[in-house]
A = this chain, B = another copy of it.
Amino acid sequence: MAVNGGKLDEAARAAWLYYVAGNTQDQIAAKLGVSRQSAQRLVSLAVSEGLVKVHIDYPIAHCLDLSKALRETYSLSFCEVVPTDPDSTSTTLGVAQATAAEIENWLGRPEPLIMGIGTGRTLRAAVEHLSTMECPQHRIVSLTGNIAPDGSAAYYNVIFTMADKVKARFFPMPLPVIASSEKERETLHAQPMIRPTLELAAKADVTFIGIGELDDEAPLYVDGFITREELQALRRAGAVTEIIGWTFDPQGRLVEGITNERVASAPIPSRETSLVIASAMGKKKLPGIRIALEGKLINGLVTDEATAEALLTPSLR
């Protein structure tokens, strides 16, 4: 650790000399007393370790227009649109960074607040972009259980990753994502360790969530929280999208009778009294995002240009 820390220290220094002071790698090598190649390694290590944060501080007109249009069309309190890289296959590029910036923005406030955190690939990517911060005044509460079907910690439950980066009071949910029966869920929720956490989640000032698909790569199915049969039953019952374990039909209603009665997650916090921000982009998520917007399941959105444009084109449904 000390060795590794020392290495990162050097990497940070090299990256500083490179990006901030504008040195070439040769100059850095000379200053740090290493070879040119080692200097290059240090810089690229710093980049790959996420030590180097780049952001483009200019409101691109088209993105601003889209974000304004989305805010008006769906009466959102918050909306951020990042550029699209047409060739990239990533489903988080840009959105992750912007979400991280918004999370940091909230955590940077001195007055204590409660932040709710959902789950998923996008949110995980966002959390990986967080800076290390000290904010013991805040409470961060997971909205979903963190126990995978095999008993291990669910990988895409981001709260533990977040705890590595941010010093705050964390409230994970030591629960499965979906209980085996409605009764079990009630029992679990009544536990003295769980109840206060659920109450905290309901009081969140701001909440960040992802939006899940229910196609063949549905995260809920891929991660083993539901069976293939349950997935198919959900789809037959009209479920199209999933948010923190809850599945919704195209009208934004919870699909009844299959898994929702057993979902152990907290409900989505109130959109009347708090901010619920979804981060999602990409064609596959489009129907889900639309449902979340039209069903008023969210009142904040981080997405990319291409998705924003599609959301503003009413034609294809």
Enumerate chain A interface residues (CB-CB to B < 8 A): 5-6, 8-9, 11-13, 15-17, 19-21, 23, 27, 31, 46, 50-62, 82-83, 85-88, 93-94, 97, 105, 108-111, 131-132
Contacts and interface: CB of A to CB of B under 8 A. Distances in A.
Contact of A57 (B58, B62, B132): B132
A97 B56 contact: no
B60 A9 contact: yes
A86 B31 CA distance: 8
Contacts of A20: 54-56, 93-94, 97
A83 B12 CA distance: 10
Contacts of A82: 16
A15 B85 CA distance: 12
Contact of A16 (B17, B21, B50, B83): B83
A21 B54 CA distance: 11
- Most chain B beta carbons < 10 A, residue from A6, A21, A59, A61: A21
Contacts of A51: 56-58
Nearest to A50: B57
Contact of A108 (B5, B86, B105): B105
Contact of A53 (B27, B55, B108): B55
Q: Is the interface of A mostly helix, strand, loop or mixed?
A: mixed
A53 B51 CA distance: 14
Contacts of A97: 20
Closest 10 CB pairs of A and B: A12-B58, A21-B85, A19-B54, A51-B58, A57-B131, A16-B56, A16-B83, A53-B57, A54-B54, A15-B56
Nearest to A93: B21
- Most chain B beta carbons < 10 A, residue from A13, A31, A88: A13
A64 B3 CA distance: 17
B21 A94 contact: yes
Contact of A61 (B9, B52, B94): B9
A85 B17 contact: yes
Contacts of A55: 20, 52-53
- Most chain B beta carbons < 10 A, residue from A6, A16, A53: A16
Given A16-B82, A52-B57, A53-B57, 14 more contacts: A9-B61, A9-B62, A11-B58, A12-B58, A16-B83, A16-B94, A19-B56, A21-B85, A23-B87, A51-B56, A52-B55, A53-B54, A59-B132, A109-B109
- Most chain B beta carbons < 10 A, residue from A17, A20, A23, A53: A20
